[in-house]
Amino acid sequence: MIALASAGGAAVVQAAGTDAWQGFRDRVARLFGRGRLTDVQVTAERLDRTAAELAAADPVALTVTRDRAAASWQTRFEDLLESLDEQERQMLAAELRRTFGAAGRGIAVAGDVYVDADRGSAAAVVMGDVSITNPSRPDAAQA
């Protein structure tokens, strides 16, 4: 269950600020709320605060902000899973896997997409069965 909770923390951070955020946020809030409207609203507000913190983070501190948010949500997912009996835990785990799988599939983009690698970094885009990547840097003999 720790791996699932960790995936949950990562999924929250990945989905925040994307076109998939609203649907992901609503689904996670409903899962945490488990039929209790107040708990759904509290979770939705927490998710929104997380997304706002990530959006407002200074680029230099973004990695730390993302790591803290992921760890915080991991703990919340762990607490939620531990609060359930075994049957409920298994049902929720299956639903969380579906939710996290959807979050990790990417985002829909209307318009142009630019992928750029600089300072020796690598960049890639994967689209279904198509993969577009940047070429490797030539060595001194090839230059």
Residues 46-99 pLDDT 10s:
999 999 999 999 989 999 999 999 999 999 999 999 999 999 999 999 999 888
pLDDT bracket for residue 1 (50, 70, 90): confident
141 has a pLDDT exceeding 80? no
Left if phi > 0, otherwise alpha if psi is -120 to 50, otherwise beta: which for 75? alpha
Helix (H) or strand (E) holding 131: strand 130-133
Q: For residue 37, is it within any domain?
A: yes
The answer to the question of residue 62 being in a domain is yes
| Contacts within 8 Å (CB) and 24+ apart, 121-124 | none
Domain total of the chain: 1
pLDDT of residue 100: 83
**Per the domain annotation, does 64 fall within a domain?**
yes
Residue type, position 26, single letter: D
Residue 15 has pLDDT above 60, yes or no: yes
| Domain ranges, residue 51 | 2-111
Residue 49 within any structural domain of the chain: yes
Tokens at 48, concatenated: 């929104």
Query: Would you say residue 48 lies in a domain?
Result: yes
Nearest to 113 by CA among 100, 101, 102, 126: 126
